[in-house]
Structure 1
């Protein structure tokens, strides 16, 4: 809440309110004094220092790699240990002097060296070739470093390694749902929640996407449509984010808001993929049937329920429309025709209505990312309908015209229903 952009806007408002006589100068001074100090940002010197440190680290690694075969095994291992010790020592030194960004960078470099050490030790001693297990070990070490140092960079390294691990496991065993990743993800989510960090929340939200994508695009998976499975994942992420943000806690508000933003963009992406992959622009399956695993359907339904629960707690009309948007995207899957003949006008209408609900939801709740996601979804769905390779272009143009008329009628009704202040 107390980031730089907010403070700049608040300062401008205080000056304007004081000039208009809305508040007294003493009240404005009290508000300014009550605000906590801003955390130090990244200045030019810090940026140059980061680049210099990365160049020195790259030069060191290149030198070691060039002479790797000439160095004894014990010396190689000692070099790796020394690299982690030096990175940790520098991080502690920077942290003691309040250089939080540089301390975070050192912890991140240490986590990266740890991962390199796993690979190099395995190569030196000809250990098993289970690369996925190595990635899991790297992820555990990086997350442990994040817990001990509070480093967002180490958290990012751990989540990247975990994402690679789960993608490799899905590739190795496409017929088995890789649930162990969720345990790692939940641990990282709890860490981000405890830190009350927006950056960590972004990292956690992004880390969920590779698991859903890898799980959805398994070609051996019972003929399921990947876009429908992705839609269920987006629904759960969106609904869970709204429900968490509705909890009476600043930590929950920040964490849930970030999750809901990524959920909204994921939902728009899923709507676009439903049109472009099921209707033959890009083919992933032989048929257009709404094949979905039961667990994915349950996730989507839970997402809708959580969004409705959030709307009941916050009493916001925008979140009711968000739940409608989620439900309409999920509804497109069962109403899609099982055969390739003809076009699914009802599914098209559901997806367009869902994206329109997403835009209106963001406007009512004053959540700009949700509005942007809705507009991008509308553009993607319209483009998918227009450039679909099957069916009559004349029929599609008539459908889009009818949808436009319906949207204008909906806008007219909203203009009469909403108070003048909210228009």
Structure 2
């Protein structure tokens, strides 16, 4: 019987080779998993930035087309008048925020009649954000209207009173919350205190409500919404988080004093920059040339051949005719669109803005200093990053995205005040 062969074991060399191969496989697997996790984290940061930018643009695409609804085209945009809103310290220039910046974010201010109202075909009933003026009319200090249960008028709100036929109308601004403590309990007359008359401010002209039509009982009051959109950097620990916020110019928290950042509404997080350019009826785009700020000139009716210039509204302008409103000479209603268009419709006046071009730069909510970051992005006429954002070459750990949209303003084509 032949002897059985000896069982052969594993040599030390074979064992070392097997361990080395296994280690390489494990290292590769760990590397793949780590890379996938990091790619997911990077993608998540990019998606978060994209979501913030989309939220900002969605809000603008919903609200901006309302600009000028129920108003004259010349009053739809505000290029210089509303300056009392809260201004972040990081964005201040000589103590104030600016509409246009080449080294920081712009801000956008516009107005529109609040569309949340309903009128019965008979004209006697109304609901929502519209009311009727009582026979006491409008005085230098007060507006008298028929309020409904639940109504509250806030300090800073703008109200538009329109006579039947819409030949006469005025704007006034609420000076104090009305009623002072609780909302209106039952339907009935309400007296609203008004801010003092300012002949140069189109929204404080109750002195122009002397016509008998304002005391006939047929005049209607509509709410005018103010939209001021700007970036607000907020200190969070050792970093700054930027937000796009909405300032309505009203004392919504009820402090009774000036409008503060506590009255602002959150729109989107992570918005580092909002750049604004204006598309004119003559085809020119104002505010899209890198490094060139917009030149604002007050005048009438503007010039057709300028570049990166906007002519601001001069109010009240020439004296109105006896049967006209104080707003008529500067309303732009009298200038036709043609064809051919009146020359006044083809100038750089703010009443001739037909669309607004918006560029939004958003960043991820949280930085990751272990990964490559994207530098600050510059769009339209911005040529340098904001000082509070940091150096364009700094590795700050944020992922950034930039979205742009051109939003038309259909109400800039209106050619008459509406009573409905």
Q: With structure 2 as the length reference, what TM-score do the two structures score?
A: 0.22
Which one has a larger percent helix, Structure 1 or Structure 2?
A: 1
Bigger relative CO (Cα 8 Å, ≥ 6 apart): 2
Which one has a larger percent strand, Structure 1 or Structure 2?
A: 2
Choose 1 or 2 for highest CA Rg: 2
